[in-house]
C-alpha cells in the first residue's frame, strides 16, 4: 500500500511541476522587413541589418507573470523568410544565408542559417536554428538581426523580405 501511495505522490508531483512549467513558458514573436538591394556582384557575401527591434520584454514578461531576472532560458525556435516584393521574384538568387543576433554590449551570435538553397522558385524559406540560450539578447531593450547572404545570380531590383522569428521563453513564475 505504501508503494502505491508513494507512486501516486510521485505522479501528482510530476504532473503539478509540468503544469507550473507550462504557466511560465511562452513564445515571443517578432517581425521585421529587410531589403536585399539590386546587385552587380555574385558569389560574394554581404550583410544586411534589420532596424533595431524593440523587445518590449518587460511588458511581455509581466503579462506572463514573470520578470527579466526570472527568465531561465530563451531559444530561437523558428525563423522564416518570406519574399514579398517583387511579386514575380523568388529566392533562386540565394545560395546561402546566415542570421546573427546583435545587442548592445554583447558579441554577435549566429542563430540561424540555410545552406545550398535550392533553385526551385520558392518565396518562403525556413532556416535551421541554433539551440543556444540567447536570453541576454532578448532581455535587452533592443536587438537587431544581421543577414549575411551569398548570391549566385544578379538581381535587377530590390528584394523585400519579411523576417519572422519565434523565441521560446522559459521563466520562473513570480513568487515561486
Give 94-121 pLDDT, tens digit per residue. 999 999 999 999 999 999 999 999 999 9
Q: Percent of the chain scored above 70 by pLDDT?
A: 83
Confidence at residue 61, expressed as pLDDT on a 0 to 100 scale = 82
Confidence at residue 40, expressed as pLDDT on a 0 to 100 scale = 57
Strand partners, 162: 33, 82
Strand 106-114 and strand 94-103: the pairing is antiparallel
Mean pLDDT over 64-71 rounds to 86
Q: Is the pTM of this model over 0.85?
A: no
The residue written with cell numbers 504557466 in the block is 23
Q: Does domain 27-171 have CATH number 2.60.120?
A: yes
Residue 122 has pLDDT above 60, yes or no: yes
Lowest-pLDDT choice from 1-15, 74-88, 91-105, 116-130 = 1-15
Mean pLDDT over 128-151 rounds to 93
Residue 118, Cβ density class (10 Å: 0-12 exposed, 13-18 middle, ≥19 buried): exposed
Confidence at residue 13, expressed as pLDDT on a 0 to 100 scale = 47
Confidence at residue 67, expressed as pLDDT on a 0 to 100 scale = 86
pLDDT tens, 19-32?
A: 445 567 999 999 99
pLDDT tens, 145-162?
A: 999 988 888 888 999 999
Q: Which strands sit side by side in the sheet containing 124-126, from one edge to the other?
A: 25-36, 159-171, 71-85, 124-126
CB 111 within 8 A of CB 146: no
Mean pLDDT over 138-142 rounds to 90
Amino acid at each position: 500500500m505504501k508503494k502505491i501511495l508513494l507512486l501516486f505522490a510521485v505522479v501528482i508531483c510530476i504532473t503539478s511541476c509540468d503544469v507550473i512549467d507550462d504557466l511560465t513558458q511562452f513564445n515571443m514573436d517578432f517581425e521585421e522587413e529587410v531589403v536585399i538591394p539590386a546587385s552587380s556582384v555574385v558569389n560574394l557575401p554581404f550583410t544586411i541589418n534589420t532596424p533595431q527591434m524593440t523587445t518590449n520584454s518587460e511588458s511581455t514578461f509581466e503579462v506572463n507573470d514573470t520578470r527579466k531576472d526570472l527568465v531561465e532560458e530563451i531559444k530561437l525556435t523558428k525563423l522564416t523568410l518570406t519574399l514579398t516584393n517583387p511579386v514575380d521574384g523568388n529566392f533562386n538568387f540565394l545560395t546561402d544565408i546566415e542570421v546573427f543576433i546583435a545587442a548592445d554590449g554583447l558579441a554577435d551570435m549566429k542563430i540561424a542559417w540555410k545552406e545550398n538553397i535550392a533553385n526551385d522558385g520558392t518565396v518562403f524559406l525556413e532556416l535551421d536554428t541554433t539551440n543556444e540560450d540567447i536570453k541576454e539578447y532578448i532581455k535587452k531593450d533592443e536587438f537587431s538581426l544581421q543577414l549575411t547572404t551569398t548570391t549566385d545570380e544578379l538581381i535587377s531590383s530590390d528584394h523585400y523580405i519579411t523576417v519572422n522569428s519565434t523565441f521560446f521563453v522559459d521563466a520562473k513564475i513570480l513568487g515561486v
